[in-house]
Structure 1
Amino acid sequence: MRAVKNLLVLYTGGTIGMLQTPEGLAPAGGFEARMRAWLDAHPEAPRPDWRLQEMSPLLDSANMQQGNWLAMRDAIVEAVKQDGHDGVLLLHGTDTLAYSAAALSFLLLGLDVPVVLTGSMLPAGAPDSDAWDNLAGALALFSQGLENGVQLFFAGKLMSGVRASKLRSEAFDAFAALPRHREGERAAELPTTLSYCQPRSPVNLAVLPMYPGIQAAHVRALLETGIKGLLLECYGSGTGPSDDEALLDALRDAGQRGVLVAAISQCMEGSVVFDIYEAGSRLRDTGLVSGGGMTREAALGKMFGLLGAGLDLATARHWFALDMCGERA
């Protein structure tokens, strides 16, 4: 825990800085001037020394892609290693805020500075907006001292970047760290191939929920797109149709093609424990690796971090099953 003295504010777009257009709210530049004007008008607000950098293009976070995660990672590493910043505040839209927090948690493993993501449900300047409260609250945290790693701050709550999810679309307390079951052996030491120093590449990933009527053809259609990772959102404790041999064969084929197939629970407060039910055991036997109590955001971000580093299937399965930064334990 240490106070940050030289903060980078990385502005990626999102509602916090949006302005009204004829088509609706849209990302807008010039946020640094608005932020400085607000701080000048509120001298009581704590703040470290800071500099703002705008990403290009500025995004509505509904348009967030893997390439944007990689660009954010590069900007953060450059700010820390070349420009001497000792903390980063990332301003981001709320639609994919939890996804980006999770992805960056795995892209920045080993980077010895605190990184906090925040945003707002209403634009800065809108009546009764939460924007300045979230921004000022995050600045206060940097002034007081934060642990290294990626975290998400929203509506007065500081959450792990790998435990948070967006639960509400029309309330200021939109995010929460769900009490999902935590389990998993903590990795004693992470290899350099998974540190922030390791360049990553985009990866073709897919998420598929289990539901009554799911067919083997759906899985095979995804395989034909060339996916490298498939995240299955299973029922309850990790179950799914266990009497559909064609579906089970399709999942086995995925592993034989080198696809990392992992399972999480689609329950908001759920965890995968395959052996409770035969239906879970039969899914496990197709080669699925358990995601334990990971959220969708964390599991997808972890899959991206592992496969984007170029790991082979066996190595990716090994690290997916271990806790790397608090996502499982």
Structure 2
Amino acid sequence: MSRKNHAPARQVMVLYTGGTIGMQASENGLAPASGFEARMAEQLAALPEMVVPQWSFREMSPLIDSANMTPAYWQRLREAVVDAIEAQGCDAVLILHGTDTLAYSAAAMSFQLLGLNAPVVFTGSMLPAGVSDSDAWENVNGALQALGQGLAAGVHLYFHGELLEPTRCAKIRSFGRNPFAALNRARGGEAASALPAALDYRQPKQLANVAVLPLFPGIGAAQLDGLIDSGIQGLVLECFGNGTGPSDNADFLASLQRAHQKGIVVVAITQCHEGGVELDVYEAGSRLRGVGVLSGGGMTREAAFGKLHALLGAGLDGNEVRRLVELDVCGELR
């Protein structure tokens, strides 16, 4: 991602959500801990030659292991970002987050903060700050320096010296210093010419109920019906290859048809690490399209999940939600 021709950040709000980066030992193992602001200030004071923007600090409540992240927490995070920019006078935000769901949160916030004229950077670490060979300060300091050099408005993911597009990447490793990678997903989706005012970052969003269902050999209508009847509004359907599923299973197709009739937005993405969905290539895919399933193109699971939360949470008309699913909103398809 280019850093050229963007104003350097002068005042950064650091939002600390918890995660491995600030964890300390407890009776039951590593757990989120307060006091990270002082530790961060101390290590920066020991590096007077390093130039970073001025920063302030806010500890989110509760501090969590990112395995406990929820869409409700995303809403509080969005409000904290808006408050930092519009009320606290900051021109950038750095979010410290656990790595397990960092890609989900960064993708979701890309859609929750549409229109925000400031950069927001997510980072974290694989080992807690202060332990041997930790990557914590490397990532915190690197993210601050990137902001100080100037980043485009919008959401970024910074890790191990690399800036990634949140709607195009995922956590692919549970070890090492470089757990995130850009996925080689299909591009070329048509861009939305204009976005509804309801998607603007200033507009509050309602909580949406979205699920993810990976297809597997032998999946039947019973598993799908359980989700349909649970009250979901949207479903990310992880299909085989470029968008195929059990198209010879009449009951399964009937369940998808019922989901469509109930107003549930079903989006097909691929289980593959590379490529994307083209529902009209194979009969097994076109039959999914025929019962109301939408194409997610090259969207990642994280991007599709976050996009549905934003579109459904904005209270848009069902037809408008379905239209925007297949258009590029913030780089998820292009």
TM-score, structure 2 as length reference: 0.97
Q: Distance in 1 between matches of 2:78 and 2:184?
A: 28
**Equivalent position of 2:310 in the other structure:** 305
Q: Distance in 1 between matches of 2:51 and 2:246?
A: 54
How far apart are 1:315 and its partner, in Å?
Answer: 1.0
Q: Where in structure 2 are the equivalents of 1:213-224 lying within 5 Å?
A: 213-224=218-229
How far apart are 1:324 and its partner, in Å?
Answer: 0.6
User: Do structure 1's residue 28 and structure 2's residue 20 form an aligned pair?
Assistant: no
Please say which of residues 232-241 and 308-317 is displaced more in the overlay: 308-317
**Equivalent position of 1:154 in the other structure:** 159
Q: Secondary structure at the match of 1:275?
A: coil
How far apart are 1:46 and its partner, in Å?
Answer: 2.3
Q: Superposition RMSD on alpha carbons, in Å?
A: 0.7
Runs (4+) off by over 4 Å = none
User: Do structure 1's residue 225 and structure 2's residue 239 form an aligned pair?
Assistant: no
Q: Where in structure 2 are the equivalents of 1:52-67 lying within 5 Å?
A: 52-67=57-72
User: Do structure 1's residue 176 and structure 2's residue 181 form an aligned pair?
Assistant: yes
TM-score, structure 1 as length reference: 0.99
From 263, 285, 302, the equivalent of 1:280 is: 285
**Equivalent position of 1:260 in the other structure:** 265
User: Do structure 1's residue 205 and structure 2's residue 210 form an aligned pair?
Assistant: yes
Contact 1:201 1:308 in 2 (8 A): yes
Please say which of residues 48-57 and 192-201 is displaced more in the overlay: 192-201
Contact 1:46 1:136 in 2 (8 A): no
Q: Distance in 1 between matches of 2:63 and 2:155?
A: 21
How far apart are 1:22 and its partner, in Å?
Answer: 1.6
**Structure 2 unaligned residues grouped into runs of 5+:** 1-5
Which residue identity is paired with 1:244?
N
Q: Distance in 1 between matches of 2:302 and 2:115?
A: 20
How far apart are 1:183 and its partner, in Å?
Answer: 2.3
Deviation sequence 1:62-114 (CA, Å, 0-9, x none): 00001100000000001111111100000000000000001100000000000
How far apart are 1:270 and its partner, in Å?
Answer: 2.5
User: Do structure 1's residue 124 and structure 2's residue 132 form an aligned pair?
Assistant: no
Count of equivalent residues: 329
Contact 1:9 1:90 in 2 (8 A): yes
From 143, 146, 152, the equivalent of 2:148 is: 143
How far apart are 1:45 and its partner, in Å?
Answer: 2.2
**Equivalent position of 2:46 in the other structure:** 41
How far apart are 1:274 and its partner, in Å?
Answer: 1.0
Q: Where in structure 2 are the equivalents of 1:186-201 lying within 5 Å?
A: 186-201=191-206
How far apart are 1:133 and its partner, in Å?
Answer: 0.5
**Structure 1 unaligned residues grouped into runs of 5+:** none
Q: Distance in 1 between matches of 2:322 and 2:160?
A: 36
Q: Distance in 1 between matches of 2:108 and 2:203?
A: 14
Q: Distance in 2 between matches of 1:236 and 1:172?
A: 30
**Equivalent position of 2:3 in the other structure:** none
How far apart are 1:44 and its partner, in Å?
Answer: 2.2
From 9, 27, 31, the equivalent of 1:4 is: 9
